[in-house]
Amino acid sequence: MSTSIVLQAKGINKFFSDPVPQQVLKDIHFTITSGEFVSVVGKSGCGKSTLLYILSTMDTDYTGELFLDGEKMSNQSESTLAAIRNKKIGFVFQFHYLLNEFTVLENVSLPAYKLNALPKEAIHDKAIQLLKKLGIEHLALKRANLLSGGEKQRVAIARAMINDPIIIMGDEPTGNLDKKNTAIVFDIFKELTMEFQQTLLIVTHDDAFARNTSRTIVMDDGKIVESGL
C-alpha cells in the first residue's frame, strides 16, 4: 500500500470569545499520511480536543484550511460534512457515547445503515466480524447501556470502523479505563495499523500509550511544539 496524505491542516487558528477573547489554536500546520498511528499529547487546556473537533469536521468555526483525503473541508455545507464524517471518519470518545436505545449490533451498524452502501444482512455480518475481532461478539444482542466501560469502548471502536474510514480519531479513548482495559484498547489500535494500515489520530494523556505509537505530536498553549517527524 502506497502512502498518501490522509489529512492536512494548513494554518488553522481558533478563537473563543467567551468569557474573554482567547486564541486556543495558533497557526496549526501538519499532515498525516495513511497507515500512521499518531498520538497527540500536551498539557491540559492546550487545545488538543479543540483541534480534534476541527479535524473531525464537527467544528467549522475556525480559520485556515483543512484537507481530508485531498478534499477541502473548509466552507462545506453541514450536510456534506455529515456525509463525509459518515464515510471517511471514525470517532471514539472518552465517554463511550453509545445509543442506549439500541443493541450493540445496532450501535455498530448505525453508521453503515446511514451510508446505505450495503444491504442490512451484509452490514450485520460485517459488524459481527468486527465485534469478533474485538472479542465481544457474544455481546452483540445486548442493550448498550448494560455493558462495562471497557466493553463500551470496544463497541465504540467497532462502530468507528464499520464504514472502513480513512482515519479513526479518538479523544482520550482510554482516559476513562483502567490499566487492563487501556492495554486491550491499545492493542486493538496497534493491530489495526499493523494488519489493515488503518490511520489513527489519538489524543491521550497516557505517556506510555503515546510512546508506543508510531508518531507523537506535542502541543503547548495552542501550538504544535513537536511534530514527531
| Residues of the shown chain interacting with another protein in the complex, contacts defined by CB under 8 A | 49, 53, 56, 58-59, 78-79, 82-87, 91, 93-95, 97-102, 110-111, 113-116, 120, 159, 171
How near is the Cβ of 88 to ligand ATP at its closest, in Å? 23
Sorted by sequence, the CB contacts under 8 Å of residue 174 that are 6+ apart come out as 153, 181, 182, 185, 186, 204, 206, 209
71 by Cβ neighbours in 10 Å (0-12 / 13-18 / 19+) ranks as exposed
Cβ-based nearer residue to another protein, 67 or 95: 95
The CA-CA-CA angle for residues 48, 51, 55, to 5°, reads 135
Cell numbers placing 126: 460485517
Instruction: Report what 44 binds from Mg ion, another protein, ligand ATP, none; CB cut-off 5-8 Å by kind.
Output: ligand ATP
Cβ-based nearer residue to ligand ATP, 16 or 102: 16
Task: Tell me the window of 27-35, 48-56, 81-89, 188-196 that interacts with ligand ATP (CB under 6 A).
Answer: 48-56
How near is the Cβ of 89 to ligand ATP at its closest, in Å? 18
Instruction: Report what 18 binds from Mg ion, another protein, ligand ATP, none; CB cut-off 5-8 Å by kind.
Output: ligand ATP
- Separation between Cα atoms, residue 159 and residue 215, nearest integer Å: 24
Contact string 49-78 vs Mg ion (x = CB under 5 A): x-----------------------------
Residue bearing cell 511544539 = 225
Q: Is 218 among the residues that bind ligand ATP (CB under 6 A)?
A: no
Task: Tell me the window of 45-53, 111-119, 133-141, 152-160 that interacts with ligand ATP (CB under 6 A).
Answer: 45-53
CB-CB contact of 165 with 91 (8 Å): no
CA distances from 172 to 129, 169, 207 (A): 25, 10, 12
- Separation between Cα atoms, residue 29 and residue 76, nearest integer Å: 20
Task: Tell me the window of 41-49, 58-66, 139-147, 152-160 that interacts with ligand ATP (CB under 6 A).
Answer: 41-49
- Separation between Cα atoms, residue 72 and residue 92, nearest integer Å: 23
Give bridge partners of residue 61 from the DSSP assignment. Answer: none
Instruction: Report what 98 binds from Mg ion, ligand ATP, another protein, none; CB cut-off 5-8 Å by kind.
Output: another protein
